[in-house]
Structure 1
Amino acid sequence: MGRAEERRARQRGGRRAAPKGRRAAAAGGRTGIRRLFTWKKILGTFFTLCLLGMGAFIVLYMLIDIPEGNADAELQSNVYEYSDGSLMARDGDRNREIVDLARVPKPVQRTFVAAENKTFYKDSGVDLKGTARGVLNTLSGKGAQGGSTITQQYVKNYYLTQEQTVSRKLKELVISLKLDREKSKDYILAGYINTSYYGRGAYGIQAAAQAYYRVDAEDLTVEQGAYLAALLQAPNQYDWAIAGDTGKKLVQERWNYVLDNMVEQKWLDAGERAGMTFPVPKEPKAAPGMEGQTGYLVEAANAAVKQQLVEQGVAEDLEQAKALLDRGGYTITLNIDKKKQKALEKAVKDRLTSKLDPKKRAVDADVQAGAVSVDPKTGKVVALYGGVDYVKHYTNNATRKDYQPASTFKPVILAAAVEQGAETQDGVPITADTVYNGDSKRPVVEDGEKVGFAPPNENGTDYGDITVQEAMNKSVNSVFAQMGVDVGMTEVMKTAGALGMSENLDPFPAQTLGTMGASPMQMAGVYATLANHGKQVTPSIVKSVEHKDRTIEMPDPVGQSVLSRRAADTVTSVLTGVVDDGTAQASVRDNPLRDGQQVAGKTGTSDDNKSAWFTGYTPDLVTSVGLFGEDPKTGKQVPMYKAGGVDYRVNGGGFPAEIWAAYTFGVLDEVSEFDLETEQGAGVAPTRSPSPSETPSQTPTEEPTTEEPTTSAPPSTTSPPPTTEPPTQTPTSPPPSQTQTTPPPPTFDLPGGPDEPQNNDRE
């Protein structure tokens, strides 16, 4: 330290002077980067950006005018064609009727304001915070977000498009501001409620009022208006007729939210609000021109197109896909063969519906039929029967998945066994000739331990030692329950998923009885995969889709092999025995129209006679027919005992098999034989019948009770009811001798042909 510095230090009290750099920092507190970001510079930059933004917005405001409304005017119909290009249906003019706001009760008008934009009557037409959030989310790729005002939503619906881009959002903001200045709030509200989509093909409040409550808009109550206002958030999810439990819960919460907001805004008296109950909408009413089977065909085609729009990335979800489809302009050609479609409709009428008379038997009103016919080589759905009439019965029985397929599931177990090379508990390979103990209620065993499941056979019949072939013919529950455990229920369920049934089915032994839910469409796909030698067949109802603005390629219905040819052909071979020596022989084997045609198939009848099935196939055609007991008033599943005048029970070998035979043998052009690669060969010789000691009892056993399965999802099966296929003899007939190779015919008939024997359990 120099003398001068020491002197200065003594003058400062002995402190040594800091280095020059440190003195500068101490004096100003700013070094390096801090000098670049002073508060003055930051504030100046902020104001500069604000001025630039305001300037840009002013320019946008001057350049963007309110456009002509065109989105609404461009809506078109969709055209549906048969496979040969002939017209099937046109979905008609857009279902909309513009109504003056004065025709809508004031309280109903306010339900929409309460639901979407409580500040509507006070704001300037925009929600800057919500718009900014939407822009940021669009830029960051987070997708669409809520927060728009009624004015902004009307602008988006009527003047712009639904695309999620920054430019569209900025246009929406400017047009909304201008529209709010130039038009009255009533004008904007009227436009909003008249252009919004409410589901069920209804655009605008008048169409929605008719679609959901069968009244005009001017006759809507506040409760009904609140429901329609709630719908706008998610029309499909909140439609009471098709909503699941979650959807119904959410729409009720939304409904309460709307009414509570009205009380908060003093638009509704709190006491009046407390007395309001949720107004359950009426069942959907089909659009004109959708009568008969047409509506079911169009609905199934629409479902396939919407799914493909999502899979191709054209739409983010099914809700958006429906909005695109509803805008119209599509020409959809179906795989439906006009000749086969008419033949299937006629078969159902001749063999079932003409014999149902609700005036004579109340139960006849509960019987619903569904059927799907598929070409196994191409996967094309060539015919479909969805119900008696789309206008009268909205649910499509061909695609519904809420009824149990019962014993039509048994071939899946055998397929899994052959595919996996499974063995019995004694180490014997499982083939058609493998012998099992077929006694009723025989406990299922795994690794020497009972698994707590012992299903009864039909009418408690004990078969003793019985081959797998004969067990399939007679649908012996105890055999297939044990086989499922021998294979491994996880493997059985994997095979079921690969063949086209619902994925992730619970691997419980009780599932061997077919206690899951399934549709005729799914079961047709399962059996079509077997008929196609193990190559996966996903039934496809849509042939092609054309639209001027986009290209939609439908997936190939035939996929890769999911089952070896040996396994698939072995199951087919075994299933020929069900027709020639089993539960389907009366309706199919002995049908005079058969003319030597080879047939494989399986019957099934669920617990409490709530469903009855026959799914069968030839080398060229697979058809699944299901009968379902449904209360027409409540939609609940109910038994079908004595429906159609049968002595007791509606079985899979009765009406379903008769419909199948009348249709199939009537449309086949020539007799064909299966080309099978299996040690079993193309057909199985009949085997022995039960001995006298194994004959079913004369007295029906008590009907098992089970919880009603819901219609929203397939029933759970932790402890399902027992199920069984009826044997080939009737309880009232004398037992055949042990040496007899073919059981005697049943002693009582179904209308139009012999029925299977009565049964108090499932088959």
Structure 2
Amino acid sequence: MNDGDPNSPRRGRAQVPGSSGGARTGGVSKGAAAKGGAKVPPAGRASVGGAAAGRASVGRAGVAGSDAKSGRARVAGQGGASARATVGRASVGAGAAKSGSTRPLDVDVIENRGPAQRSAKSGQSKGAAAARAKKARRRNLILSAFALLIMITGGTVVGGAFFYDAVALPQDLPQRDQATTIFYADNKTQMAKIGTQNRTIIPSDQIPKDVKNAVVATENKEFYTDQGISYTGIMRAAWNNMTGGERQGASTITQQYAREIADLKGITYSRKLREAVLAMKLNKQYTKDQILTAYLNSVYFGRESYGIEAAAEAYFGKHAKELNVAEGMALAAMIKNPAGGPNGLSYYDATANQAPALDRFDNYIKPNMVQMKFITPDQAATLKYPEMKKYDPSDPAFQAQWGLDKPTGNVIHNVMDELYHLKDPKGNPMFPDLKTGGYRIVTTIDPAMQQAAEKYASGQTKDSPLYNQPNAVAAMVSVEPYSGRVKAYYGGPNGGDKDLAGVWRDPVLTKCGQDEPNCDLDRLQGFGRHFPASSFKIYTLGAALKDGISLNSYWDGTSPKKFPERKSPVVNAEGKTSCAGGDKSCTLLEATAESLNVPFYSLTSKIGSDKVLDFAKQAGIRYIWNLDGAEAVRYDLSKDTPKFSPELGIGQYAVTVLDHANGVATMAARGARAPVHFVEKVFKGADAVYSETFKPTQISGFKQEMADDASFALQKVLERGTGKGLQLTGRQAAAKTGTWQAATSSTDTKNNGNSNAWMVGYVAPDLSKKPQFYGLATAVWVGAKEGDSAVVKINGGNLFGSTGPGPIWKKYMDVATANMPKTKFPNQKNTGDDGRGDSQPPAAAPSADPNGAQPGGLPCLIPALCQPGQPGGQPTQPGGQPGQGNGQGNGQGNGQGGGTAVPGAPATFPTRRR
């Protein structure tokens, strides 16, 4: 008798997950009982499954959840023995029935609770016990014959017809829980998997014929000809079970599947009867291939793999459609005993139990395959046991859920948030079963861009500007302008920890429910929001241009400056007391490049904070935080209309990196905003059940010409302003820096410094393409691990937008845009009114040489004697070139006078880091 023989005493049983609990008979009481209308002796009353025999009603059975334990069928009156529920053709070794034996019987056990029940300890004689055992065996034989009669006649006898009709057939073959897989935008690279069981359901055409044949040859050779049940098997099993022979389950593939979908537990005749009736109905309703496919998608193969697709990945690292005949035979062997081998692996897993695995492969499955003409004898002779992967519990192939503890774990939470809150036309959730529905979700995340984001923002590699900076952390988000697709997202190294890039509500994988306003309070109000500082000025600039203010308008830049609504004056960063060159006033263009606070505060006060906030909202800012009080107050701009002071215009209210990146993308798309999103498509099997929809909306009143002027100003930040030195390699870009000072004591000069810094920007579009191409927009934030009030040092120096996030932004953007077309921004359009500023242009100093500033004047041949502005002379250098002024200064270059620059010569700005 070989190991693969169904009659082998070593034959195990395939386990099916189910709710733990005992299967027991109910309704037992002292006295007479009706059984299908017939009187029985008063020894006790027995009913099948708690209902009178002939009146058992079975409803549609549910499928046990994945978290449930394997069920055990208890045998009343015995020593608490239990047998695992099975899905395979089950059997256990035979043994003689003894008083107090724990060997379970394949019957609905009749419980005697009357006086006739006695234990050996109470003086019951051995003869009486033997007589009762003989009587019980006789009753069981009658019961088995009755059950067999019902099944053979197809439920046409009185009582049996009712039972047949009462067993409900699901309208469609129910499918067990299966994992949902999340992919990058290439639809090839897996990002994560979520679920309760490691199962992926696949259609019939993705299961090779050789694999199907191997399973049939191994589990049920009569599958294609039987009626869903095996009559001869049932008769043999019933006789053996009643006469003390080897106990057998006699299950066909259809019965195994019926048992699983109906969640039938225990080794009892009532269960077998239900199982058999349901199997016959399945066989009548569905084709053999439909049943076999459903079975192969549900059965447990060991290694935490449910279904043939998960098994193919777990054992061979490939898809089921790629399996060959030998691999299919090896997997078919696992079904019999998927968890009974060493370390909980299959008894027939060759990596753990080689001898039984080879024996079953060579001496049972091969001969059956030849006998059924699935392969020829010559083919069988050449087939060898295939090489398998070693089992590694940490390998994603063996897990129902993985990927949440990686940087992309925060992407998954955003994906769950996005999909869970989608509604169908009736207002119901479109995806209520994200964790168990077996979806294939294709995200918008580009694998190469995500890799670059993690490389430069994590600080884990020497290429990262934050390498060996233990107190600094970063977050960054890239958004594709005009589409709103998030192309890269880094909120931290672990999706189970803080997300520093955004906020989300994920009721699928966390306890954060949809209708809980304070759900996951820390995540909504503690981690993802940061002070944007001067990087927020892109929205102030946009609002000003929309309001009709020109880049050439002049603004008072003297610092400090008092305003009526403020107790303390507004100051420019780094103690800068005026515009470049010591001038009192400068253009909005220059104030943007130099990131001067005083002009932007005045600008916000002039047009109104509400206009700046509205522009930011339309650009993509969804949430904003006021941190002035004891507790942070979060505003949802889709429904809230907070009132802020003009400090809004210089970045005093916190936003998320994700929202900021979306706002920057809107500027890149010339004022057209698309909703930011993470999901491109969702598949259920081969069908696309959801596709992204985005309709860019132009910021109201903000014309493309105004957007071109904004981009022109932001280019100057990189060319000569606070972002100088961070230009992208061979590519035009527009950007803005931002730095937030830590909340430290004004007298603690040693520990004073900055705690937050930003770099946000985008590349030039290609407007010649159809559709037009708007490149990429990225926001990078760097701050302290301890929070927004802690000082951050970079290489021992103060943190600035140009020293922390700036290098990250440049390194990342150079890589992320490497394959994008190199184009130029549209020209400046000079929109708006030059006279809308709050100051006048600085007065030009008269020239000492009447011809010096006139075209065609005589050149000065001796530079030391030349006057500023004279052809050939030395122009005054802003910021302190001594001795070359017009005599009105103090010799240190910071006087109020200055020579007139040579016409056409570019103005120079001192490098400031803000």
TM-score, normalised with respect to structure 2: 0.42
**2:795 corresponds to 1:645:** yes
8 Å CA contact 1:403–1:517 kept in 2: the answer is yes
Q: Residue 528 of structure 1 corresponds to which residue in structure 2?
A: 665
Q: Residue 565 of structure 1 corresponds to which residue in structure 2?
A: 704
Q: Secondary structure at the match of 2:433?
A: helix
Q: Residue 440 of structure 1 corresponds to which residue in structure 2?
A: 559
TM superposition shift of 1:396: 4.5
Query: Over residues 349-393 of structure 1, what are the superposed CA-to-partner deviations in whole Å (9 max), with x where a residue is unaligned?
Result: 5788856577xxxxx4442211111221322222222213435x4
TM superposition shift of 1:412: 0.8
Q: What residue identity is the alignment partner of 2:802?
A: G
Q: Secondary structure at the match of 2:434?
A: helix
Q: Residue 383 of structure 1 corresponds to which residue in structure 2?
A: 488
8 Å CA contact 2:442–2:681 kept in 1: the answer is yes
Query: Over residues 93-139 of structure 1, what are the superposed CA-to-partner deviations in whole Å (9 max), with x where a residue is unaligned?
Result: 5179xxxxxxxxxxxxxxxxxxxxxxxxxxxxxxxxxxxxxxxxxxx
**2:782 corresponds to 1:627:** yes
Q: Residue 461 of structure 1 corresponds to which residue in structure 2?
A: 576
Q: Secondary structure at the match of 1:308?
A: coil
Q: Residue 720 of structure 2 corresponds to which residue in structure 1?
A: 581
Q: What residue identity is the alignment partner of 2:443?
A: L
Equivalence map 1:66-215=2 (5 Å): 67-70=60-63, 72=65, 74-94=176-196
Q: What residue identity is the alignment partner of 1:338?
A: P
Query: Over residues 266-317 of structure 1, what are the superposed CA-to-partner deviations in whole Å (9 max), with x where a residue is unaligned?
Result: xxxxxxxxxxxxxxxxxxxx9643343221222222222123248982329x
**2:709 corresponds to 1:605:** no
8 Å CA contact 1:371–1:398 kept in 2: the answer is no
Distance 1:639 1:312 in 2: 49
Distance 1:389 1:450 in 2: 44
- Measured on the aligned residues, the alpha-carbon RMSD in Å equals 3.8
Distance 1:560 1:79 in 2: 35
Q: Residue 519 of structure 1 corresponds to which residue in structure 2?
A: 656
Query: Over residues 172-212 of structure 1, what are the superposed CA-to-partner deviations in whole Å (9 max), with x where a residue is unaligned?
Result: xxxxxxxxxxxxxxxxxxxxxxxxxxxxxxxxxxxxxxxxx
Distance 2:401 2:498 in 1: 11
Q: Secondary structure at the match of 2:422?
A: helix
- Give the number of the structure whose residues are more often helix, by fraction: 1
TM superposition shift of 1:90: 3.8
Q: Secondary structure at the match of 1:384?
A: strand
Aligned in 2, Cα 1:566/1:744: closer, same or farther, shift over 3 Å? Answer: closer
8 Å CA contact 1:373–1:623 kept in 2: the answer is yes
Q: Residue 594 of structure 1 corresponds to which residue in structure 2?
A: 729
Q: Residue 608 of structure 2 corresponds to which residue in structure 1?
A: 488
Query: Over residues 638-664 of structure 1, what are the superposed CA-to-partner deviations in whole Å (9 max), with x where a residue is unaligned?
Result: 42432x4142x1111122111111121
TM superposition shift of 1:517: 1.8
8 Å CA contact 2:465–2:808 kept in 1: the answer is no
- Of the two, which has the highest radius of gyration? 2
Q: Secondary structure at the match of 1:373?
A: strand
TM superposition shift of 1:454: 2.9
8 Å CA contact 2:672–2:698 kept in 1: the answer is yes
TM superposition shift of 1:417: 1.3
Equivalent residue in structure 1 for 2:594, among 469, 474, 478:
474
Distance 1:546 1:523 in 2: 30
Distance 1:365 1:540 in 2: 32
Distance 1:569 1:479 in 2: 21
Distance 2:441 2:62 in 1: 28
8 Å CA contact 2:593–2:722 kept in 1: the answer is yes
Distance 2:613 2:433 in 1: 36
Aligned in 2, Cα 1:326/1:436: closer, same or farther, shift over 3 Å? Answer: same
**2:541 corresponds to 1:414:** yes
Q: Residue 474 of structure 2 corresponds to which residue in structure 1?
A: 369
8 Å CA contact 1:308–1:552 kept in 2: the answer is no
Q: Secondary structure at the match of 1:418?
A: helix
**2:774 corresponds to 1:672:** no
Distance 2:829 2:876 in 1: 23
Aligned in 2, Cα 1:673/1:78: closer, same or farther, shift over 3 Å? Answer: same
**2:412 corresponds to 1:298:** yes
Aligned in 2, Cα 1:520/1:450: closer, same or farther, shift over 3 Å? Answer: closer
Equivalent residue in structure 1 for 2:694, among 556, 564, 574:
556
Q: Residue 397 of structure 1 corresponds to which residue in structure 2?
A: 501
**2:676 corresponds to 1:539:** yes
Equivalence map 1:303-322=2 (5 Å): 303-309=417-423, 313-315=427-429
TM superposition shift of 1:327: 3.0
Q: What residue identity is the alignment partner of 1:83?
A: A
Aligned in 2, Cα 1:744/1:528: closer, same or farther, shift over 3 Å? Answer: closer
Q: What residue identity is the alignment partner of 2:535?
A: T
Aligned in 2, Cα 1:735/1:312: closer, same or farther, shift over 3 Å? Answer: farther
Aligned in 2, Cα 1:380/1:454: closer, same or farther, shift over 3 Å? Answer: same
Distance 1:83 1:484 in 2: 40
Q: What residue identity is the alignment partner of 1:594?
A: T
TM-score, normalised with respect to structure 1: 0.50
Q: Residue 662 of structure 1 corresponds to which residue in structure 2?
A: 811
Aligned in 2, Cα 1:475/1:656: closer, same or farther, shift over 3 Å? Answer: same
Q: Secondary structure at the match of 1:369?
A: strand
What is the number of equivalent residue pairs in this alignment? Answer: 426
Aligned in 2, Cα 1:489/1:665: closer, same or farther, shift over 3 Å? Answer: same
In structure 2, stretches of 5+ residues that fail to align are 1-54, 67-175, 199-260, 264-399, 504-526, 579-583, 623-636, 743-753, 766-774, 833-874, 883-891
Aligned in 2, Cα 1:89/1:654: closer, same or farther, shift over 3 Å? Answer: same
Q: Secondary structure at the match of 1:673?
A: coil
Distance 1:406 1:334 in 2: 31
Q: What residue identity is the alignment partner of 2:556?
A: N
Aligned in 2, Cα 1:572/1:419: closer, same or farther, shift over 3 Å? Answer: same
Q: Residue 172 of structure 1 corresponds to which residue in structure 2?
A: none
Aligned in 2, Cα 1:580/1:312: closer, same or farther, shift over 3 Å? Answer: farther
Distance 2:876 2:551 in 1: 14
Q: Secondary structure at the match of 1:657?
A: helix
TM superposition shift of 1:334: 0.8
TM superposition shift of 1:536: 1.3
Distance 1:353 1:637 in 2: 25
Identity of aligned residues (%): 24
8 Å CA contact 2:592–2:714 kept in 1: the answer is yes
Query: Over residues 212-255 of structure 1, what are the superposed CA-to-partner deviations in whole Å (9 max), with x where a residue is unaligned?
Result: xxxxxxxxxxxxxxxxxxxxxxxxxxxxxxxxxxxxxxxxxxxx
